[in-house]
Homo-oligomer: A and B are copies of this chain.
Amino acid sequence: MLRHVVLLEMKDGTPDSAVAGIVTELESLIGRLPAEVRLVDYTCGRDAGLVPSGNAHVAIVADFEDEDGYRAYQSNAEHQAIIKNFIIPHLRKRMASQFIIKA
């Protein structure tokens, strides 16, 4: 199984509603993804505010059956539209990684 991890740090002054909107859009997308994405689990959320400063604002952890599923997710047109319209306009820094986990 492949675990895809993304952390998003938004620009200073990004409205609270814009951060919340990213999570809403991504969670809503999940139910519409085609079978080829082979999604096993998807969690996405806003930072809980436990650390005084320096944390990312949004985290995503998505588990796919295999690499092909991950690639289908990344290239999905609706996913790309969310990135373009909801994330990029407010994005300061993105970090990501994919790693193998036991099924």
Contact = CB atoms under 8 A, between A and B. Distances in A.
Interface of A: 2-3, 5, 7, 9, 43-48, 50-51, 54-59, 61, 67, 70-71, 93, 95-101
Identify which of A56, A97, A99 gathers the most chain B CB atoms within 10 Å of its CB. Answer: A97
A45 B99 CA distance: 6
Nearest to A46: B99
B7 A95 contact: yes
Contacts of A99: 43-48, 59
Contacts of A45: 3, 99-101
Contacts of A97: 7, 47-48, 55-59
Contact of A7 (B2, B5, B43, B44): B5
B59 A3 contact: yes
A67 B45 CA distance: 15
